[in-house]
Chains A and B, each alone.
Chain A
Amino acid sequence: MVLMHLANRLSRIFLTLGIFFLLGILWEIAAKVFKIPTPILPPISDVLKYLIHSYKILLPDVFITLYRALLGLGLGTVFGLLLGFALGYSNYFYNSLYPLLIALYSIPKQALVPLIVLWTSFGTVPAVITALLTSFFPVVVNTTTGIMTLDPDLVALARIYGATKWRLFVKIAIPHSMPYFFAALKVAGVGALVGATLSEMIGAQTGVGHKVLMASVKFQTLELFSYVILIGLVSVLLYWLLTAVDRHIVWWAYRWRERL
């Protein structure tokens, strides 16, 4: 039985790797056969060669971006969670703050970043703030939804047993909203990386965002692709990590999956 699960898992991993491999081959063929000039689409073999050769120079900026993103994610998550709870607990808060929240989130971050840089400084601070802004919204929305989707009969049950609103909230509403929260966290993680990178493009001199912009302006396509691959890998790893956290903490939410 265990062997079957393992075989299943391995076959899925192989399938994914296989698809990537296939795409890589297509890329290589397209670049070489159609003789696309290197500044536009270098063959993947050249990109990989460059990456392996220069990763020591490339990695520091990747870590800088990751650091900024994680900081923004951490702050955005805490802030988003608390705000989500507040909006779920109080109708009054919800009706007054939610429209404001949507308005704030609808403003394209690219427009906000120059303003944030103006108010703060270059580099890390605006990147963290932008990452916070891009990551906290899914957390708030999901947490609030998690609380508001509580079955009204369950609320009736709690009330008949003498529950105060607070007790009901802490013992039932909050645990109930946790699967929703963790689902949002995965999205927020990726969002934070996007936010940090975006900010770096406009208001930083270090980090992947800045480096990518510089590389594209100077037509250093190999460097560009390398950074893209690296930050892409980091993003995937972060997503996997958050998925693992999700499955571990709210394992009970995936109970239906066991039955399949």
Chain B
Amino acid sequence: MSYIIVRDLYFRYFSKHGTVEVLKNLNMEISKQCFVAIVGPSGCGKTTVLKLIAGLLKPTTGTILVNGNVVNKPLERASMVFQSPLLLPWRKVLDNIILPYEFQRQKPAKAHLVERARELLAMTGLKDFGHRYPWELSGGMQQRVALCRALIINPEILLMDEPFGALDPFTREELWTVTQELYLSKSFTAILVTHDIREAVFLSAEVFVMSPRPATIIYHEIIPFAFPRQLPLVFSETFKTCEQRIRSHIGGTHAPS
């Protein structure tokens, strides 16, 4: 059985404009330790899928299973990264990274946590920045800190909602490499929601394409390239063909029969 199963997911909410059907007949299966991406047009509900899998929202109907258990409250051993780093400005970088543990019942010794935080900082190229404040760092550096914070609890699942959307293309590519290294060394299951198809194809083993609202999965492709992948791969013919194929499915409303 797959690690993450989304079955017949239907999600709607009520607003003053009436009922909004966001997701309909959505089905997905994700294997353990797999890095997958979800792409689709703006506003189709990608973030909603992520929040449903995370247990932050409840499905209207349908089931979500993680490791065989039904998800009906926020997942444990899961982390999220958003487009905005959302670091606390009154805390230094190190204290921001160990924040997740302050909400948990069982907390390892602080010295141990600081050690782990330093390791993560080193892995993301921010070795000497532990004692700075978040606003002393650039956007890309802050997002790297956000990644460190996500990984301090050694999550089994990492959910990312357009994490590199606010960054310039060069910083974005840098962070793709950082993310891939972290993934290969920590082996979590990752779901990346993104607008950027190149990003999706470069980082993930499988790409899911969502239709416009009410959204369902209309296309699914397994990316054939082996890990670790280097940035120049992005310019190869096979990569571009793959990217084009996926791109051609965006905006469509029916699953191929």
Contacts and interface: CB of A to CB of B under 8 A. Distances in A.
Main secondary structure of the interface of B (DSSP, over half): loop
Interface string A237-256: 00000000000001011011
B84 interface: yes
Interface string B134-171: 01000000000000000001000000000000000000
B86 A162 contact: no
A172 B51 CA distance: 21
Nearest to B87: A154
Contact of B56 (A156, A162, A164, A253): A156
Given A171-B102, A172-B88, A255-B89, A157 B82 contact: yes
Contacts of A250: 90
B121 interface: no
B14 interface: no
Contacts of B78: 160
22 contacts: A151-B86, A154-B86, A157-B80, A158-B103, A160-B54, A160-B75, A160-B80, A161-B99, A161-B101, A161-B104, A161-B153, A162-B104, A163-B103, A167-B102, A171-B99, A171-B102, A171-B103, A175-B88, A175-B90, A252-B135, A253-B89, A255-B135
Contacts of B82: 153, 156-157
B144 to A, nearest CB: 16
Interface residues of B, number: 26
Given A156-B51, A163-B103, A255 B133 contact: yes
Contacts of A162: 74, 76, 103-105
8 closest cross-chain pairs (CB), A and B: A163-B103, A161-B100, A255-B135, A161-B103, A153-B82, A252-B90, A154-B86, A252-B89
Main secondary structure of the interface of A (DSSP, over half): helix
Given A157-B86, A162-B103, A253-B89, 19 more contacts: A151-B84, A156-B80, A156-B82, A157-B82, A158-B103, A159-B74, A160-B55, A160-B75, A160-B78, A161-B99, A161-B153, A162-B76, A163-B103, A167-B103, A171-B102, A172-B88, A252-B89, A252-B90, A252-B133
A163 B80 CA distance: 14
A151 B87 CA distance: 11
Most buried by B among A157, A161, A162, A255: A161
Interface residues of A, number: 22
A153 B86 contact: yes
B74 A160 contact: yes
B142 to A, nearest CB: 12
A160 B104 contact: no
Nearest to A168: B103
Contacts of B75: 160
Interface string B115-145: 0000000000000000001010000000000
Contact of A153 (B55, B84, B102, B133): B84
A160 to B, nearest CB: 5
A75 B104 CA distance: 36
Contacts of A171: 99, 102-103
Interface of B: 51, 54-56, 74-76, 78-80, 82, 84, 86, 88-90, 99-105, 133, 135, 153
Interface string A26-61: 000000000000000000000000000000000000
Contacts of A255: 89, 133, 135
Interface in A95-153: 151, 153
A160 B86 CA distance: 14
A252 B92 CA distance: 11
Contacts of A167: 102-103
A256 B89 CA distance: 11
Most buried by B among A163, A167, A253: A163
Given A167-B102, A167-B103, A160 B89 contact: no
B189 to A, nearest CB: 15
A257 B244 CA distance: 45
Given A252-B133, A255-B133, A160 B56 contact: yes
A255 B132 CA distance: 13
A175 B95 CA distance: 14
A151 B146 CA distance: 15
Contacts of B102: 167, 171
A175 B80 CA distance: 22
